[in-house]
Amino acid sequence: MNKKGISKFRIDLKPTQILVLGFLFLIIVGAILLNLPIATNDGNSIGFIDALFTSTSAVCVTGLVVVNTLEYWSMFGKIVIIILIQIGGLGFMTFATTFFIIMGRKIRLKERLIIQEALNQYTLSGMVRLTKNVLLGTLLIEGIGAVLLSIRFIPKDGAYGIFKAIFHSISAFCNAGFDIVGDSSLSPFIGDIIINITIMLLIILGGLGFTVWIDILRVLKQKFENKWNFKSTFRKFTLHTKIVLVLTFSLIVIGFVFFFILETTNPNTLGNLSTKNKILGSLFQAVTPRTAGFNTMPLGDMTHGSKFMTIILMFIGGSPAGTAGGVKTVTMGVILLTVISGIRGKERTEAFERTIPEDIIKRALAVITIGITVVITVTMILSVTETGSFMDILFESVSAFATVGLTLGLTGSLTTIGKIVICITMFIGRLGPLTMAVALSMRARSKASMKKPDEKVMVG
């Protein structure tokens, strides 16, 4: 192929395609590095499939693992994993843009379009500034989180506790769920207030989305010199921020109450703990499916109701333009608001005295439909290839799609086919719903067509 042909090929790549190829390239590089003997404690290669699975889980900030992260991987392997988590959580374009800025290279329109796609923005205005703020804000929050976690880890592990604190701070903020504590995740710290609160805040902040951060800071800056009033301050937020905050708070409260009621008498989970530890355990379990993958209580011993509630919370996930997975809170919120509007006989979907555009509703429906389709398909395939209960398989499928990382024990016994299917599912979960929905909306806008005649069909 001549230079002209290569140039044309590059120009024809859409931003969504570049994002997919970028993440795929990062996963392959990570798999190669993790497959090196130096990456393991015993000096033996783990095998490419397991290395690929671990790399995919790290880049897609999922947290599903086929080996114990603490015991199996060497320091080199652990460093590779946490770098993959950091780049995967923020997006490779964030780091590429930062590198271009450091090198003094001008950010071109094509690259701004990719950043816009990666951060799920509707405008090209201020993309470079947004990228800088995202990176600086992330490093600041992760740094504070690492300092707080060091209070517990350094007295226990010495100098290694510093690395342990940094690892868990990055993993929590990026909603990855990788830990280097042991087989039981963070269960040894179920009653530790500092560990629990710090990890939960990191998960929530990472899951809120970068645009929500910026909007909150914008409003707080405006209100700094004025008299503080929550109601008037809340009104100044964008509709997106309002929906994110309301749904995030509501889901945490609903999850907390649900888990506390169902597990407080379960002797295998919270039943034998103090009231303080029951509260911490229930609250942590309400936060972690959104979509971090840590756990402080044994998931396999939870009641069926709690397992199913965890599946629901995992599927919803966090919020757009953040580090969390799932179909996203705003997507689910738009669908619920549309249903409520339909029940009330309203022609438009409204929230907080604003009307939600029809194209946003269509995107939300597309994301939900794609998500349900992927979960059903993966569950059916795993039901054939794997041995386990239906609950275990459904839980694993949703966890992989929503990039959560929680498991009822199926991950370690996956067949080769099962590992490949879960890898694909994690990849789709990290990129699929967003890129597919955006592609559909772009295609719809690019095709101007005459309106066809209306004809009613029976629904319900």
Backbone φ, ψ for residue 351 (5° rounding): -155, 130
- C-alpha–C-alpha distance, residues 146 and 149, integer Å: 5
Cβ proximity of 54 and 66 under 8 Å: yes
Q: How many residues does the chain have?
A: 460
Which amino acid, one-letter code, is at 158?
G
- Burial class of 460 by CB neighbour count within 10 A (0 to 12, 13 to 18, 19+): exposed
Q: What is the pLDDT of residue 82?
A: 95
Q: What is the dihedral of CA 433, 439, 443, 446, to 10 degrees?
A: 130
Q: What is the pLDDT of residue 134?
A: 81
DSSP-derived letter for residue 453 is P
Each of the 460 residues of the chain gets a pLDDT tens digit; together they read: 454 444 444 445 666 677 778 888 999 999 999 999 999 999 999 999 999 999 999 999 999 999 999 999 999 999 999 999 998 888 755 666 666 666 556 666 555 666 655 555 555 566 667 777 788 888 999 999 999 999 999 999 999 999 999 999 999 999 998 999 877 789 899 999 999 999 999 999 988 888 888 888 888 777 666 666 666 778 888 899 999 999 999 999 999 999 999 999 999 999 999 999 999 999 999 999 988 889 999 999 999 999 999 999 999 998 887 788 889 999 999 999 999 988 888 888 988 888 999 988 988 998 899 999 999 999 999 999 999 899 999 999 999 999 999 999 999 899 999 999 999 999 988 876 656 545 444 444 444 456 678 776 766 6
Element containing residue 302 per DSSP (H, E):
none
* pTM > 0.85: yes
Closest CA to 211 of 111, 307, 137: 137
Q: What is the pLDDT of residue 446?
A: 45
What DSSP string runs through 328-394?
Answer: -HHHHHHHHHHHHHHHTT-SS-EETTEEPPHHHHHHHHHHHHHHHHHHHHHHHHHHHH--S-HHHHH
Q: What is the pLDDT of residue 222?
A: 72
